[in-house]
Amino acid sequence: MKKFFLFLVSLLIGAALFLFIINNVGWEEILLALKTFSLKAGLIILLLTILSFFVRSWRWKMVLKSQGYNIPTLRIIEYYLSGNAIGFFFPMVILGGEIFRGYDLKEKYSVPWPKSIASVFIDRFLEITINAIVIIFGIFFLFSKVSFLSQKIGIALFLLAISTAIAVVVFYFKSFRKESIIKFFLKKLNLRHNNGADTMIDVEKEIFAYFGPNKKTMWQGFGLSLITQLILTARTFFLVLFLGKQISFLGATAVVAFSFLAITLPIPAALGSHEAVQSFVFNAFGLGANIGMAFVFIVRGAELAVALLGLIFFFRFGIQMMESIVFKKIAKLIKIKQ
């Protein structure tokens, strides 16, 4: 009930922000920007979006393969899209998609829980690392191109860039030295004797085993993450072109960076937050806030199509998961009675 309440609250906040931005930019201006966009252009954007998810799925498959588990590619794609659907529609369910992916691997392919959940987190860390680098670049690129930023916004963006860089450096410093981060927080929160503490430490060990300066698999993961970033940048470049404007490759990368920032807020489908961020960024780059709004609408449409497909897989796996849990409980009760 609490999670459903959070979902409704976040959705209402997003809807209010969305209407506020629409009111400021104007529907007429947005529709004018969309007039140059064709069905053929829409198919290209959709294909690039699907391709980015295929590369991400392949990255996760390679992580699992490095752990000794060669899961069928089609199944990997289904699990990945299912997890993405949870994150897209229910971002307030923290790590919901990751937990789902890890659980199904454990149930269907007997991948031990520490390894299955670690594979999901490794996949996320690989993506977050590249995203963090892109975000830092995007913030400083905005500083170099825009002179009218308010002091408060400038300071906030600068602190965000610095804190992001520090977080990434600390993680890799600790992982390369195999120094536990989990144990530090367990000690601080006095949770060392918690039932899940040992599992968390085992998961961390699996994650640290993957990362290392001399680990070929880690660099392979970074490579696939970089390819994903290049696909998203190409999608941005072509989409702006299809909307009748021009943007440099570096500018397109900065736009992607601010898209990453927008989706970090726990609002379903980044409703409102994505519009607010990109209307500001596009306006700052001299492209027009209406182009930014049109850009977001089209990107959200493409990602919604992928998320809906993932939702179908999620419901199918979710029902199977519930059946598995129920049958296990029934079997346990029968065993107790006997």
pLDDT tens digits for the chain (338 residues)? 566 666 677 778 878 888 888 888 888 888 888 888 999 999 999 999 999 999 999 999 999 999 889 999 998 998 899 888 887 877 655 555 677 777 777 777 888 888 888 898 899 899 989 998 998 888 888 888 776 666 677 777 778 788 888 888 888 888 888 887 777 777 766 666 565 667 788 888 888 889 988 889 999 999 999 999 999 999 999 999 999 999 999 999 999 998 888 877 777 777 778 888 898 899 888 899 899 999 999 999 999 999 999 888 888 766 665 555 444 444 444 454 44
Q: Render pLDDT for 213-230 as a digit per residue (tens, 0 to 9).
A: 888 999 999 999 999 999
For 105, the domain range is 2-337
CA–CA distance, 290 with 210 (Å, rounded to integer): 44
Query: Cβ(3)–Cβ(93) under 8 Å?
Result: yes
Q: Hey, CA dihedral for 250, 254, 257, 263, is it positive or negative?
A: negative
Radius of gyration of the chain (CA): 22
Helical spans, DSSP H, in the chain: 2-25, 27-34, 39-66, 73-89, 96-109, 113-145, 151-177, 182-188, 197-210, 216-242, 249-262, 273-284, 289-337
Q: Report the number of distinct structural domains present in the chain.
A: 1
Give the integer Cα–Cα distance in Å for 296 and 270: 10
